[in-house]
Amino acid sequence: MDVFEAVRTILAVRSYRDDPVPEALVQRIVESGRLTASARNAQPWHFIMVSDRATLGQLGALVPTGPYIGQAALAIVVAIQRTPFAVSDASRAIQSMMLVAWADGVGSNWAGFVGGLRAVGDLLNVPSDMDVLAVLPFGFPAVPVGQGKKGRKPLSEVASRERFGQPF
User: Which residues are near a second copy by CB under 8 A?
Assistant: 1-4, 6-8, 10, 12, 28, 30-37, 39, 41, 43, 45-52, 55, 79, 84-85, 87-89, 91-92, 94-96, 99-100, 102-103, 110, 113, 124-127, 133, 148, 150-153, 155, 158-165, 168
Torsion angle (degrees, nearest 10) of CA 146, 152, 158, 160: 50
Buried b (16+ CB within 10 A) or exposed e, 23-40: eebbeebbebbeebebee
To the nearest whole angstrom, how small is the minimum distance from the Cβ of residue 96 to a second copy? 5
Decide if 33 contacts 77 (C-beta within 8 A). no
To the nearest whole angstrom, how small is the minimum distance from the Cβ of residue 137 to a second copy? 14
To the nearest whole angstrom, how small is the minimum distance from the Cβ of residue 76 to a second copy? 9
Helix (H) or strand (E) holding 155: helix 155-158
Q: Which is nearer to a second copy, 71 or 80 (CB)?
A: 80
